[in-house]
Amino acid sequence: MTDNQGVSRRGVLSGIGALGLGAIVLQTGGTYTDAEAKAVRMEKWPWPYVKLDPAKTAEIAYNEWYRVYCGAAVISSIFGQLRQKVGEPYKSFPIDAFIFLEGGVSGWGTICGSNLGANIVSNLIIGPRTGESEDGMLMGSEILQWYSDAQLPTFKPKNPKFAGEIPTTISNSPLCHISVGRWMKASGKELKSPERRHRCACVTGSVAYHLVELLNEWKDKKYDTKGEIPAAAFGIQTQMNCGDCHGGNIPSPPQAKVVK
């Protein structure tokens, strides 16, 4: 480590200390005492939810795409309405901080932001899988599978910002790069075209629509999840359709050795 790095590292540490959090961690050598844990882990789930109208939510998500893009638009379409109908904790939740989900997280084409936004919403409303129910995470997983299989976009806005018809495509993947890439190939339209922008806004509306359908079922205590965790079945974090990338030559992950 050079001197420069040493200095900047110390600077970072004292910066954290000034916010209070660093002081707690340092006092206890990296482990929280019971009292500190109580102060730090204040989260409570589920968050209050009232049933929303899927079509209205999708319309909001479509329009919000043009302001904050896919991920934050899904969050905004649901939390924005809940800010009005419920209030806290939605009023304090910083929706626009999630603009960076655009383009598969800062333009890296990883998970489509609308899927990520949907997972954030389901896990905040229902809670994490380590809490009372695994349904938040499983609902998120169900959305990823639904997105991969659907002929997208499934939603058409009442007042579209692009008036013509656009093709629909099956992405076979929850990834932004593959989803947008397959649609670009089918349409011949470039990234900045009004058609591509309208398409991603409609996909965002489609995801918001389906998510609200599932959340409404959950609210009515009728949610029976179709979500699965692929890593548990395959021994590697993955999407389900191996052959899409590996062709006929699908590798097996290393297996745990059974010792007799």
- Binding interface with ligand HEC (CB under 6 A): 173, 234, 236, 238-242, 244-246, 250-253
Q: Which residues contact 91 (CB under 8 A, 6 or more apart)?
A: 83
Q: What residues contact 69, with CB distance under 8 A and at least 6 apart? A: 99, 101, 102, 103, 113, 200
Q: Tell me the two tokens of residue 214.
A: 């599932």
Q: Shortest Cβ distance from residue 251 to ligand HEC (Å)?
A: 3
Q: How far is the CB of 249 from ligand HEC (least distance, A)?
A: 9
Tell me whether the omega of the peptide bond preceding residue 89 falls within 30 degrees of 0, making it cis: yes
Residue in 168, 215, 183, 200 with CA at minimum distance from that of residue 72: 200
Closest distance of CB 67 from ligand HEC, Å: 30
Instruction: Please give the structure tokens belonging to residue 222.
Output: 């009728």
Smaller CB distance to ligand HEC: residue 15 or 253?
A: 253
As a whole number of angstroms, the distance between CA 81 and CA 87 comes to: 9
> Two tokens at 227?
């979500």
Specify the residue, 88 or 244, whose C-beta has the smaller distance to ligand HEC: 244
- Check if the beta carbon of residue 143 is closer than 8 Å to that of residue 207: yes
To ligand HEC, the closest distance from the beta carbon of 243 in angstroms equals 8
Place of tokens 């050079």: 2
- Decide whether 175 or 207 has the Cβ nearer to ligand HEC: 175
- Nearer of residues 11 and 251 to ligand HEC, judged by Cβ: 251
- Residue 179 Cβ, how far from ligand HEC at the closest point, in Å? 11
- The residue (of 61 and 144) whose beta carbon lies closer to ligand HEC is 144
